[in-house]
Homo-oligomer: A and B are copies of this chain.
Amino acid sequence: MNIKEGELIELTDNKNVFFLKLKSGEIFGTHKGDIKHDDIIGKQYGDTVKTHKGKEFLILKPTLYEIIMHGIKRKTQIIYPKDSAYITLKLGITSGMKVFETGVGSGALTIVMANAVKPDGIIYAYEKEEKHLKIAKENIKLARLEKYVKLIHRDISEGIEEKDFDAGFIDVKEPWKYIKQLKSILKKGAPIGFLVPTVNQILKLLEELEKNNFLKIEVKEILLREYKPVVERFRPEDRMVAHTGYLIFARNK
């Protein structure tokens, strides 16, 4: 399949990695020389391209992971792959499902869930901030998943039109306020998940989930430790992300 204009591609010469969105006529400058976008358009992933100085770069197709980590615009704190991958599996999100999500933020989780419901499912993604929604839309398009996402500009306190969702994920400041509402739009037995950064939020959320008879309540946290891949001096990275958010899961009754 030939590489087309508008695609996000990855270039590497072993040492450096660059991500760029292809646009006919444009030139990408590297310290090893310039690369014409048009020299990439029409090629295949795995092919190489040369700079005007004759240096070779390999053209890679970014994985969804790389699109999220290096391609999308971030105007909010995003949900990282370590969390979004786990959330998606834990909620059992799979092709054909109808999934509820709010807030969308930059759409990093939306992208992972949309990819999982392909080709016949859909994510109903509610976001109250128009500026976030705009970015999310762009990001989801970059990931070529716009067919599987219905973006809705609305604070869910104003109501959720759809119902009978197979699963739901909520990443808002005060999720405990919407538990009754969520109960009514989720199928009976459907899994639901939440991300909250603080312990105070967990406590309020747990209380409300219990009060509303949600079942199988779990709280988890995922830590990613990275290592320096140097064979003679193998060791963990010096610093790591120590906290992104707590994940809460439950089943609607």
Interface residues of A (CB under 8 A from B): 12, 14, 17, 45-47, 58-66, 81-82, 84-86, 88-92, 94-95, 112, 115-116, 118-119, 187-191, 197-200, 202-203, 206-207, 210, 213, 215-229, 231-243, 246, 248, 251, 253
A248 to B248 Cα, complex, angstroms: 26
- Write the nearest CB–CB distance from A198 to chain B, whole angstroms: 4
Contact yes or no, B242 A236, CB < 8 A: yes
A64: which B residues are within 8 A, CB to CB? 89, 92, 94
User: Given A46-B187, A95-B118, A188-B46, A218–B222 Cβ distance below 8 Å?
Assistant: no
10 contacts between A and B (CB under 8 A): A45-B189, A46-B187, A58-B189, A63-B89, A65-B90, A95-B119, A202-B227, A218-B226, A219-B226, A220-B225
Q: How far is the CB of A113 from chain B (nearest CB, A)?
A: 11
Nearest-Cβ distance from residue A19 to partner chain B, whole angstroms = 12
Nearest-neighbour CB distance to chain B for A166, whole angstroms, equals 9
In the complex, which of the residues B46, B94, B112, B198 contacts A233, with contact meaning CB atoms closer than 8 Å?
B198
